Structure 1
Amino acid sequence: MDKLKVLDSALVSKYIKGDEKCFEILITRHKQKVYNFIFSKVLDRDITEDIFQDTFIKVIKTLKKGAYNEEGKFLPWVMRIAHNLIIDHFRKSNRMPTFKNTDEFDIFSVLGDGELNAEKQLIREQILSDVRRIITELPEDQKEVLLMRMYKDMSFKEISESTGVSINTALGRMRYALINMRKLIEKHNIILVN
């Protein structure tokens, strides 16, 4: 078998059917990219080795369970697994402090800009992704006010005029949106940095 001409998807398919050599080819083909990606985020060889091993253990388990459905996108899929394991590592090592919920809690206060190193950038991307997912779970009227206020920087007077409700109703919807987001954050066990 000419190793260079065989597509990842064909190798994955053959591996799932029992051809162990195909997985060796996949690892050999992609190990440097995956290893370099992990190292660029954690900057520690031992931790990189651990996460690298865990990544491919998870890949093997997923393939063996028949749960792989990323046809033709093997490397991006492996990178996503590595990315998630890196996030888990930072969370477990307490390098990501948890954000304490208070009555004045404002989810967007944790999304400050500034110079971000690779670790903080990765964590920030994960938080933004989590926040976007949570926003989609809000009731439509709360989501509308929250998006206008936080992403379009509209005043409550402008929101009131745009939606045809009173300023008090707009304020109330914003308040309930933040309360519901706090509940969703706890429900999904999302950790935010401060």
Structure 2
Amino acid sequence: MAKSQLPDAILVDKYVAGDENALAILINRHQSKIYGYIYSKVSDRDVTEDIFQETFFKVIHTLKSKKYYNEEGKFLSWVLRIASNLIIDKYRNDKKMPLNRDTDELLIFSRITDDSLNIERKLIKNQVEIDIKTIIEKLPHDQKEVIMMRYFLDMSFKEIADFTGVSVNTTLGRMRYAITNMRKVIEKNKIYLPS
């Protein structure tokens, strides 16, 4: 069997054993899906390129350092999970997180999006974004992850379940707990979120 037709798991083993060409085959095999996924979430070619490259730096580092990798042949899912985490980190570290998703699921995320905001409203909007980031950071990791993927990456609950390796029902449960916890923090600290 030609090396290019080998399953992902065997190519990963070959790469870990020192066959650099095995990784080139894996990248070539999956690059369009990975690149397309990243671009669908960030809609910016330069940012997509950066995250794509950083994703494979992490893949190489993890495999070369022989850190725990046991994806049972699900190499693509593993790489997409790495990319997803990098996208979340990018949004988390950006000063301007995209908080303009309108949904009935959670009015907390209903934001002012008018470009002609006056100075006072812009200041309020910036403070609200800071407050929401602070609240999200206080959530348990699994709840924070669902919020970030759902509201900032616009992922479906099915996509989130696939990436986190849990059922859709568990994902929905985590979202409910996250919303409840956020509302409690908002009420307790009397945080005002204008709609």
TM range (shorter): 0.5 to 0.7
Match of 1:85 in 2: 86
**Pick from 162, 168, 174: which aligns with 1:132?**
174
Match of 1:121 in 2: 154
- Matched length: 129
Match of 1:19 in 2: 19
Match of 1:60 in 2: 60
TM-score norm. by structure 2 comes to 0.54
Q: Distance in 2 between matches of 1:12 and 1:5?
A: 13
Query: 1:41 offset after TM fit, Å?
Result: 0.6
Q: Distance in 2 between matches of 1:130 and 1:60?
A: 33
Match of 2:35 in 1: 35
Query: 1:71 offset after TM fit, Å?
Result: 2.3
Q: Distance in 1 between matches of 2:41 and 2:16?
A: 31
SS at match of 1:69: coil
Query: 1:123 offset after TM fit, Å?
Result: 10
SS at match of 1:30: helix
For 1:45, the aligned partner's letter is R
Query: 1:178 offset after TM fit, Å?
Result: 5.3
Query: 1:91 offset after TM fit, Å?
Result: 1.1
Q: Spell out, residue by residue over 1:93-145, the C-alpha distance to the aligned partner (whole angstroms, 9 max, x if none).
A: 123334255xxxxxxxxx99xxxx9845249969x96982996xxxxxxxxxx
Instruction: Give the alignment's Cα RMSD to 1 decimal.
Output: 3.9
Distance change (3 Å), C-alpha of 1:78 and 1:86: same
Query: 1:36 offset after TM fit, Å?
Result: 0.6
Query: 1:37 offset after TM fit, Å?
Result: 0.5
Unaligned runs of 5+ in 1: 102-110, 136-149, 151-176, 183-193
**Larger relative contact order (CA 8 Å, sep ≥ 6):** 1
Unaligned runs of 5+ in 2: 98-128, 136-145, 162-169, 186-194
